[in-house]
A and B are shown apart, each in its own frame.
Chain A
Amino acid sequence: MKRITGMLLVAFALAGVLWADNALSINGAGATFPYPMYSKWFDEYHKKNANLAINYQSIGSGGGIKQITEGTVDFGASDGPMNDEQLKAFQDKHGFGILHFPTVLGADVPAYNIPGVSAELNFTQEALAGIFLGKITKWNDPAIAGANKGVNLPANDIVVVHRSEGSGTTYIWTDYLSKISEEWKTKVGKGGSVNWPVGLGAKGNEGVTGMIKQTPNSFGYVELIYVIQNNMPYGRVRNSSGAFIKADLASVTAAAASAAKNMPDDFRVSITDAPGKTAYPVSSFTWLLVPAKFSDATKRDAIKGFVKWMLADGQNYTEALSYAKLPKEVVAKELKALNNVQ
């Protein structure tokens, strides 16, 4: 018995040594919004570099920022850029900064379920802010009907649906509402979870889509890919140049391109309500958070290698998963910024 136990122990120890010798593993954590994209990328990258495994936990943007600040993971990921206070906390703790790298773009769309209405509705800024502030309560309100001539909207109460848990999708939506409505900005503000003036909370994009499908006269925001997968009607949103734009990969990339000209060096930029005639106004980047200094050179090179690949070949995988590609100018700028990781 003893001998068997001893042999087993030796075998385990050997296996451990061999395992550790063969593969470098890098750990990341954060945003859930780009998780399908990231897991595809890490999988593809692992196929090309068998000795490197990247593990990613989609624990949420807040968790990602927390973990990278505490140094328990090698990189983080977030749907909203870190704020100045969080950057300072990181700097104070580690003595060096942290860099943001945009990876892909996503969009939120207004989805609805109105019995008898199958038309694609147009939403003005006033209508969206009014509905979410609880000031517009009926579907036939002039603020909605005015932009949808010829559609027979019922006099029913609007059932607003929003996300119950903190999420990047909510961050994008509330960031947009803060830009188009002064009242929203002062009363509610932007964030992953906010104090909603009205509405029901459902868990996850799939929860919101499910609740909208089930509840007559409901209205909510979901990520683009979910309405496509569920074949749901979703509305056009009026952008800053006055055109009603339907969200698709082209209009989201257009929003990114118009913002790319004024891209700040740290990439912390919001592209909601972006200028440009064809830009879809409720879209956003999502970011990888990479420390500026690594004590372990092999890890540093592995992460830099991955980011380089992600910016080049990796971008070809995005459209199959309904994420929009980064504009060329942003990619060029990111490659330059990658040199700051030491």
Chain B
Amino acid sequence: MATTTTTVPSAGPVAGSRSFLSRLREGDEIARLVTFLFAASVVLVTLLLVFDLWQGSVLPRHKFGFNFFRTSVWDPILDQFGALPFIYGTLVTASVSLFIAVPLGIGAAIFLAELAPARVSDTLEFFIDLLAAVPSVIYGLLGVFVVVPLMRQYIQPALKNSLGFLPIFRGPAYGIGFLTAGIVLAIMVIPYIISVSREVLLSVPRDQREAALSLGSTRWEATWKVVVPFARGGIMGSIFLALARALGETMAVTMVIGNTALISASLFSPGYSIAAVIANELTEATSNLHYESLIELGLVLFILTFILNGLARLLMVATSQRGAGMGHA
């Protein structure tokens, strides 16, 4: 999108002397128009999406107002709907997944880009791309048949015995719940982080590395203090992508989270996420208020994604200014 809008004006001074008709004949104007329409369609679809979700959720917005975000009862029979447990579940599972996936993913990307022999790096990259393309329901099955029993029999009892003094590791070990959902999500998003971060690290100019080495730094110092900060923008981008996927993931989450509208400090507790409740209840929502409340949850998820992306972008701007001197050194 950005490239088309910048290249067209740059052709301007040359094209300016010719008539509109001749430019049209040579295709410049047509190309400009067509690519502009394509770019505009992205904005249009987004706006339509928001408009449709807004239109579709009139009833609950009027009936509950802001209480929709503050209450935690979700009762289709008594027509009481509060989104808080779902917002909580979505944020907690996404946070757990990033907490696990970011260090693992970036560590693996650094190894593949900087330290591993090229052949190893390329082979592994093939498998990582393959993992990124696996449908989420497969990860859900992996979660149900492998992660859940492991959690119930080994990991949760072990965490309870060693770190049980923390409120996040208390309660009965069902095997399913926030922690399991976060782990399955982490497995799903790690390939995104590795794949994008590796590309970004590989595209850091050679001069950067060589300059650091020539100043006497070790290989690790050159990687950690020069190459990684230089690639920070791209690495953050890979984390956004992972976050977006974790927030919106439906199938794999609903299979392991326990689908219970609960707010609990314990990560062992079953919970619910926004995407999961929409997928589960929309087809059998018989009352209009129930149906429209689910649509409003869709709107909430959209806003949540929007806010988190905005915050992440702000964070990136703030940190890149501090690191600008290093980047241009």
Complex CA gap A200/B256 in Å reads: 10
Residues from chain A with Cβ under 8 Å of B172 in the complex: 157
Closest B residue to A78 using CB positions: B286
List residues 152-207 of chain A with CB under 8 A from any CB of chain B.
157, 159, 164-167, 188-196, 199-203, 207
| Surface stretch bound by A, among B155-163, B181-189, B276-284 | B276-284
Q: Counting CB contacts under 8 A, is B270 at the interface?
A: yes
Contact (Cβ within 8 A) B77 A165: no
Complex CA gap A61/B149 in Å reads: 33
Closest A residue to B140 using CB positions: A203
Residues from chain A with Cβ under 8 Å of B263 in the complex: none
A to B contact number (C-beta, < 8 Å): 90
Q: How many B residues, CB 8 Å from partner?
A: 32
User: A60, A188, A200: which contacts B258 (Cβ < 8 A)?
Assistant: A200
Contact (Cβ within 8 A) B259 A202: yes
| Surface stretch bound by A, among B31-39, B68-76, B110-118, B297-305 | B68-76
List residues 250-275 of chain B with CB under 8 A from any CB of chain A.
254-255, 258-261, 270, 272
7 more contacts with CB within 8 A, not counting A86-B286, A190-B77, A215-B174, are A60-B284, A62-B291, A189-B78, A195-B74, A200-B259, A200-B270, A201-B270
Contact (Cβ within 8 A) B254 A195: no
Q: Counting CB contacts under 8 A, is B295 at the interface?
A: no
Complex CA gap A189/B272 in Å reads: 21
Q: Counting CB contacts under 8 A, is B105 at the interface?
A: no
Interface of A is mostly: loop
Q: Counting CB contacts under 8 A, is A316 at the interface?
A: no
Contact (Cβ within 8 A) A63 B254: no
CB distance from B104 to the nearest CB of A (A): 27
17 contacts between A and B (CB under 8 A): A60-B283, A60-B284, A62-B286, A157-B172, A165-B281, A166-B286, A189-B77, A193-B280, A195-B74, A195-B78, A199-B260, A200-B174, A200-B270, A201-B272, A202-B259, A203-B255, A207-B255
Contact (Cβ within 8 A) B76 A193: yes
Q: Counting CB contacts under 8 A, is B148 at the interface?
A: yes
Residues from chain B with Cβ under 8 Å of A192 in the complex: 76, 284, 286
Residues from chain A with Cβ under 8 Å of B285 in the complex: 62, 166, 193
Residues from chain A with Cβ under 8 Å of B276 in the complex: 164
A137-163 CB mask vs B (1 if < 8 Å, else 0) is 000000000000000000001010000
Complex CA gap A62/B280 in Å reads: 12
Residues from chain B with Cβ under 8 Å of A60 in the complex: 283-284
Complex CA gap A202/B144 in Å reads: 11
CB distance from B18 to the nearest CB of A (A): 33
List residues 164-184 of chain B with CB under 8 A from any CB of chain A.
172, 174-176
Contact (Cβ within 8 A) A195 B75: yes
CB distance from B85 to the nearest CB of A (A): 11
Residues from chain B with Cβ under 8 Å of A214 in the complex: 144, 148-149, 175
Residues from chain B with Cβ under 8 Å of A189 in the complex: 77-78
CB distance from A140 to the nearest CB of B (A): 17
List residues 56-107 of chain A with CB under 8 A from any CB of chain B.
59-63, 65-66, 86
Contact (Cβ within 8 A) B174 A165: no
User: B77, B176, B279: which contacts A200 (Cβ < 8 A)?
Assistant: B176
User: Which of B73, B152, B280 has the most chain A CB within a 10 Å cutoff?
Assistant: B280
Q: Counting CB contacts under 8 A, is A210 at the interface?
A: yes
Closest B residue to A89 using CB positions: B288
A166-B174 in contact given A195-B73, A214-B149 (Cβ < 8 Å): no
Contact (Cβ within 8 A) B77 A191: yes
Residues from chain B with Cβ under 8 Å of A166 in the complex: 76, 280-281, 283-286
Closest A residue to B172 using CB positions: A157
Contact (Cβ within 8 A) B148 A164: no
Residues from chain A with Cβ under 8 Å of B286 in the complex: 61-62, 65-66, 86, 166, 191-192
Contact (Cβ within 8 A) A63 B283: yes
